[in-house]
Amino acid sequence: MIPDPDPIGLPAPDWLLIFLLLLTFVLHILAMNLTLGGTVIAVVSDFLGRRRGDERYRRLAQHLVSLLPITLAATITLAWRRCSSCRPSTASFSTHPRY
Ligand code: HEM
């Protein structure tokens, strides 16, 4: 007999865990998009600002860069899978009968 990988079971109804996983995944992707897209736009904008001597590009780049710590923190915080207090182990979540 294979021992139960997660003997205390799930900490919440599985429909709630799946709902939160999907919700936070969408938010994770949105925040990630701001982080990665914002970085690319900031680099290109700074480059154009220097080349064209246009201060508006540089201001846009500076503004985007100032937002990156917030968007990166949001990306990581919204990655819900490792939440230690609410995450079921992968094994029990995918292979176990419903509790
Ligand atoms: C700036 C880019 C990104 C950062 C910093 C980031 C960070 C993280 C972190 C820290 C986790 C938790 C890891 C764990 O639980 O072991 C995670 C989970 C995850 N990431 Fe990302 N990630 C990024 C981009 C992406 C992208 C591009 C995708 C897919 C299109 C993605 C999909 C996922 C999924 C599916 C999970 C697990 C489920 C969830 O939390 O929703 N991530 N990410």
What is the position in ligand 1's atom list of the atom closest to the CA of 79?
40
pLDDT in tens, 37-69: 999 999 999 999 999 999 999 999 999 999 999
Q: What are the backbone dihedrals phi and psi of residue 22, each rounded to the nearest 5 degrees, phi first?
A: -70, -40
**How far does residue 44's CA lie from ligand 1's centre (Å)?**
25
In a domain, 83, yes or no: yes
pLDDT of residue 44: 98
In a domain, 81, yes or no: yes
Confidence class for position 3, pLDDT limits 50, 70, 90: confident
In a domain, 17, yes or no: no
Number of domains in the chain: 1
Q: For 1-99, where are the E strands, in sequence order?
A: none
Question: Is residue 90 lining ligand 1, measured as CB closer than 6 Å?
Answer: no
For residue 82, the 8-state DSSP code is G
Question: Is residue 81 lining ligand 1, measured as CB closer than 6 Å?
Answer: yes
In a domain, 39, yes or no: yes
Q: What are the backbone dihedrals phi and psi of residue 10, each rounded to the nearest 5 degrees, phi first?
A: -80, 145
In a domain, 10, yes or no: no
